[in-house]
Amino acid sequence: MSTPAAPAHHRPLRADARRNRERILDAARAVFAESGLDAQMEDLARRAGVGVGTVYRHFPTKEALVDALVEDYFAQLDAEARQALEVADPWEAFAGYIWRAAELLGHNRALVQVTADGQMREGAERQGLHETIGRLIERAQRAGVLRPDVGSDDVPMIMCSIGRVQMLGGAAGAEGWRRHLAIMLDGLRTASATPLPD
């Protein structure tokens, strides 16, 4: 979708190759979302209707393929964050972004695993997102609706923890994470602020 095609300074791909590349990405999205990082390359290939060899001609390693999807995810987050900046109410803007980001995460098992493996690598996109979030936070804090002692570094932590809760099967149900996030957000409102440790 927002994934860039092959590098521009290469001769264009042959039609079948281009088609396969798309199929592979689609299959990857589906398989990794469902089964997480340990989805197998062969399943992925079967799902895409190609041989494993073909997958490897387009993406040198499994990791590279995952990276492509992660990139995609951050691009979406970035878009959400920018849109949030347009929302009038500062709390709605901030909380709304968090909710939407969580929703995005909740649909993808592999994403939770990757972001939680503590990677959180930098990268231009990631940096920009971080700043946008910083702006959302500042705005809410200036409006006095968000506790003043949190910063944009707390957001990845929140996303990480929500992701984890989303992966919990059965018991609390796949929907329990909404309760969890609601509580967390209540904890972020100024009204409830108690001094944070450190």
Nearer to its own copies, 85 or 185 (CB): 185
Interface with its own copies (CB under 8 A): 116, 118, 120, 147, 150, 153-154, 156-158, 160-165, 167-172, 175-180, 182-189, 191-194, 196-198
Nearer to its own copies, 6 or 157 (CB): 157
Interface with DNA (CB under 7 A): 11, 13-17, 20, 38-42, 49-54, 56-58, 60-63
Nearer to its own copies, 86 or 175 (CB): 175
| Pairs from 72-80 (Cβ < 8 Å, separation ≥ 24) | 72/1, 72/2, 72/3, 73/104, 73/108, 73/111, 74/123, 74/125, 74/126, 74/129, 75/2, 75/125, 76/2, 76/104, 77/101, 77/104, 77/129, 78/125, 78/128, 78/129, 78/132, 80/104
Q: Which of DNA, its own copies, none sits in contact with 54, Cβ below 5 to 8 A by type? A: DNA
Classify 49 as helix, strand or coil. Answer: coil
Distance between CA atoms of 23 and 50, rounded to whole angstroms? 9
Q: Which of its own copies, DNA, none sits in contact with 130, Cβ below 5 to 8 A by type? A: none
Classify 59 as helix, strand or coil. Answer: coil
Q: Which of its own copies, DNA, none sits in contact with 161, Cβ below 5 to 8 A by type? A: its own copies
Q: Which of its own copies, DNA, none sits in contact with 88, Cβ below 5 to 8 A by type? A: none
